[in-house]
Amino acid sequence: MSDTKVIDQERNGKSTWKFLADELKPKGKPFTWFNIISVPVITAGIVIIVLRFIHGLGYVSNIDQEVPWGLWKGFNVVTGVAFAGGAYVLTFIVYILNVQKFKSIVRVTVLNGFLAYVFYAGALVLDLGRPLKIINPIIGNSFGANSVLFLIAWHFLLYMIAQLIEFSPAIAEWLGAKRARKVLSSMTLAAVIMGITLSTLHQSGLGALFLMAKEKIHPLWYNEFIPILFLVSSVFAGLSMVIFEGSISKKVFADKISEKNKTGHKGIIHTFSQICAFAMFIYFFMHIIVFIHGKNWTYLNSRMGLWYLVEMIGFVLVPMVLFFISYRKVNITLAKVAAIVTMVGIVINRLNVSIIAFRWDAEVPYYPTWMEVVVTFTIIFVEVWVFRWVVNRMPVYNESPAWAKEHKH
Amino acid sequence: MGVDRRNFLKALGLTGVALGTGKQLGAAPAESVEDDEFYGILYDSTWCAGCQGCEIACAEANGLPEVPLEDVPEVGKIRKTDEHRRTVINAYETSQGEFFMKTQCMQCAQPACAAACLTKAMYKTKDGSVIWRENKCMGCRYCMISCPFDMPKFEYHSTNPKIEKCDMCFERVKEGKVPACVEACPAEALTFGNRRELIAEARRRIAEFPGMYHDVIYGEHEAGGTGWLYLSAVPFDELGLNTKLQKKSYPELTKGFLYSVPSVFVLAPALLLGIHSATKDKPAKEDDNE
């Protein structure tokens, strides 16, 4: 039986163009809570972005000569990339360690990772003073190869390509492109290996960005191990995000997820809580070593010292213990709580290194303007919109079409 | 499968060795500035009268707005360089009385800003100037994050913003002239010349008038050595300078990380492929694809 016929049936005999045109139309109810909140925010965000390009960065942002990186870099780029770490951890488990149990969530995680990078790279462009020159580090007329940021720029670019290749079989299945799917699937392993290598380097690289700001970051947060700490924390940051996202999707996209995968999801969260607990233990232990090595207790009796304790105890130690308990007691709800606490902790940690403890002693401390906050949320909301659009159309949660299953990837 | 395991362990061992050496390379002792054969400026704060002649000349030479008449150095007021002025003079009440201190980009021998710049817009020329090149800069402001002296300044209110900072009058020096501030200084507190000779001159002054000078040349070793060299009668922290800056150059701080990149790039894929083939042969009990 010819595959074209099967595909034709699935499209109800529509032509490719008609099919694409239909797919572009919105699906689902227009008045959900998410839509009601996100549409005004996105509208305001777009206006602010236009203002930013007409009047310059200073018009909408509070960043100044001493704190040149604000919320857009600290939250959207530095924090967001940590949360996107789930993709490389999961592809490592599924494609490198060949653990099939997690296969059902690989696609959604890779999609999430890919969109995160696209939108956070987009946030970076908004933050660039001279965005038209962004091609300079790419086309090679001026390679600053000894810059950590150069490494990160290239890694973002290459990693987006790798993730697009990893996700591409789903696009091919959506379009019914059988040949393309075969070719693209055969590239998955290469893309995964490339992707993991790139991830380890740029997750740590985001920490290495701040190595030269030795005198500017509070000593409780500055140490020569920032790159390794960033890398280790990206493991549990990414997995916590996967737990969080999975729990929401299970409700929102309930009709798309098969019963088998719904039951399987509990097993997945259970294993993740163990991985998170161990990764957090390593992370916490490294922090203790850094703390003792740097004789950092002298800084504890201050405002920043207290804030450090809040981060370390409230948002690393506590969720670590919660993950351990949830694993031992097989308590999925507790694992979800732990994931949320962990995520808050990651936001606090990344903002501490990049913004709060950066020039903590500045005469005029940096606080984001409301406009910066709105743009930050705009970027996240638009990302969720695109995510929802893709999930509603491509085989991400729902099963691949029958013709695709016949071929082993 | 046995071979796979062996290969895998081999790859693992190699990775370890490479990472180890990578680390060693990174930790190599920082070379101090051996190559002093570039220009610098010696600022002798004991001679400076705080007349702002340098500020006015700088603004004129670089097409910046004029210095307002009422904006004068006063004890207790810290004036800072910004996108409209590349140098400022501040007054300080010290243990030896009132002194002035000039601030501008220090022209580091190994500038953090140049190492940070991913487009080589920040660039240390052979002459010794650290210049900013408009056609390359994409405005990411990573140079501002990295500079230990906080000297690159950004035009936040422009749609095509520039980075402003002292470039030791790069164009004038190319034409054989001395920097505008040096030419303008009536007290001869500023001396332009070869950095090596300037250090010798500074030492000579310290040796000749031991009671007059604090026995340190600021900038000889700070941040790995800077083009600007300061002399003063009092310890430099009394003049608002950061005396706790590291003596190694700042790019050294990221060297360890950057050195590890090639080895990770070569070895991580090999390792991952090794693990993949070592685990692939397991009977796929949990495989969903029947």
Whether the CB of A137 is below 8 Å from some CB of chain B: the reply is: yes
Report the C-alpha gap between B90 and A143 in whole angstroms: 38
B226 in any annotated domain: yes
Distances (CA, A) of A96 to A89, A164, A294, A301, B289: 10, 18, 37, 46, 17
Report the C-alpha gap between B235 and A42 in whole angstroms: 55
Read off the pLDDT band of B32 (50, 70, 90): very low
Give whichever of A21-30, A41-50, A289-298, B274-283 has the largest mean pLDDT.
A41-50
The DSSP code sequence of A163-225 is HHHHHHHHHHHHHT-HHHHHHHHHTHHHHHHHHHHHHHHHHHHHHHTTTT-TTTB-TTT--TT
B161 and A56: CB-CB below 8 Å?
yes
The minimum CA-CA distance between B269 and chain A, rounded to whole Å, is 6
B199 in any annotated domain: yes
Neighbours of A15 (CB within 10 A): 10
A389 in any annotated domain: yes
Mutate which: B23, B103, B119, B163, vs A, most A CBs within 10 A: B119
Phi (first) and psi of residue B226, to 5 degrees: -125, 160
Confidence at residue A362, expressed as pLDDT on a 0 to 100 scale: 85
Confidence at residue B3, expressed as pLDDT on a 0 to 100 scale: 44
A265 in any annotated domain: yes
Instruction: Look at chain A and report how many structural domains it folds into.
Output: 1
B129 in any annotated domain: no
Q: Which class for B30: exposed (0-12), middle (13-18), buried (19 or more C-beta within 10 A)? A: middle
Q: Domain containing A352: what range?
A: 62-406
Residue located via tokens 């796929």: B284
B130 in any annotated domain: no
pLDDT tens digits, residue range B38-84? Answer: 999 999 999 999 999 999 999 999 999 999 988 999 999 999 999 99
A253 in any annotated domain: yes
Q: What's the distance, Cα to Cα, between the start and end of chain B in Å?
A: 23
pLDDT tens digits, residue range A63-115? Answer: 999 999 999 999 999 999 999 999 999 999 999 999 988 988 999 999 999 99
pLDDT tens digits, residue range B221-255? Answer: 999 999 999 999 999 999 999 999 999 999 999 99
Distances (CA, A) of A39 to A24, A42, A45: 18, 5, 10
CATH number at residue A295: 1.20.1630.10
Instruction: Look at chain B and report how many structural domains it folds into.
Output: 1
Residue from the list B137, B145, B156 with its beta carbon closest to the beta carbon of A130: B137
Report the C-alpha gap between B179 and B190 in whole angstroms: 10
B260 in any annotated domain: no
Ranges assigned E (strand) in A78-149:
none
A188 in any annotated domain: yes
Phi (first) and psi of residue A204, to 5 degrees: -70, -30
pLDDT tens digits, residue range B97-113? Answer: 999 999 999 999 999 99
Spell out the residues 6+ positions from residue A85 whose beta carbon is closer than 8 angstroms to its own.
A113, A199, A203, A234, A235, A237, A238, A239, A241
The minimum CA-CA distance between A337 and chain B, rounded to whole Å, is 29
- The mean pLDDT of chain A is 90
B276 and A227: CB-CB below 8 Å?
no
Q: Which chain A residue has its CA at the smallest distance from B262's CA?
A: A201
B203 in any annotated domain: yes
CATH number at residue B214: 3.30.70.20
Q: Domain containing B74: what range?
A: 39-112+143-239
pLDDT tens digits, residue range A356-409? Answer: 999 998 888 899 999 999 999 999 999 999 999 999 889 998 888 888 776 544
The minimum CA-CA distance between A91 and chain B, rounded to whole Å, is 11
The minimum CA-CA distance between A66 and chain B, rounded to whole Å, is 7
Phi (first) and psi of residue B192, to 5 degrees: -100, 140
Q: Determine what percent of chain A is predicted with pLDDT higher than 70.
A: 95
Residue located via tokens 């694409």: A20
Residues of B in contact with A209 (CB under 8 A): 142, 145
pLDDT tens digits, residue range A197-237? Answer: 999 999 999 999 999 999 999 999 999 999 999 999 999 99
Distances (CA, A) of A41 to A37, A38, A48: 7, 5, 10
Residues shown for chain A: 409
pLDDT tens digits, residue range A136-157? Answer: 888 867 788 889 999 999 999 9
